[in-house]
Amino acid sequence: MAQVFGHVEVITGSMFCGKTEELIRRLRRATIAKQKVMVFKPVIDDRYAFNKVTSHSGADYEAIPINHSSEIYDLLTDDVNVVGIDEAQFFDDGIVDVAQILADKGLRVIVTGLDTDFRGEPFACMPEMIVKADKVDKLEAICICCGEPATRTQRLVNGSPANYNDPVVIVGAAEMYEARCRHCHEVPGKGGK
């Protein structure tokens, strides 16, 4: 039998750049190749469907919602070749080790997550996940203000940019977030502004 080499792929970028859409595309291709796929998502992400990862455009794929990264070990079946992990920034920091251990066991691990929070700062475990990955794809959205490539996530509160001191984690979609370029991204209160 041929030796199997696992690896970690990370799909990252701002909101609305197509991270989950790309995850779903890769998972479907793996399924076509007759590989066994399991997908995990954080329970906190209940925006579209509880037991599916769903892109903003409506594409979806069956997923298992979990509270803690260690649950993956208990739920993973022996015949799995590919593991999808959506919205990794919402998991505990142990998700990085989980991805590494699964890859070391020969699995293909595909992880999505926001690289920065609404303040434009590194988001939770994602910097470490990106550094330890074998492959990283950083996608861009389109800036809602000027149409340029967007790499930032703008949080809005009553139509205005959220303050730097607002809570970092608030799950939402188009009703409270926009994709913006560096120039159009605003964070009142950041750096004394």
Tell which residue, 2, 17, 9, has the closest CA to residue 144: 17
3-class secondary-structure state, position 108: strand
Q: How far does CA 144 lie from the centroid of its chain? A: 21
3-class secondary-structure state, position 192: helix
* Angstrom distance (rounded) from CA 78 to CA 74: 11
* Angstrom distance (rounded) from CA 65 to CA 49: 10
Amino acid (one-letter) located at 168: V
- Among the listed residues 9, 21, 87, 178, the single catalytic one is 87
**Is 87 a residue of the active site?**
yes
Side-chain-side CA neighbours of residue 30 (13 Å): 21
Task: Show which residues are catalytic.
Answer: 87
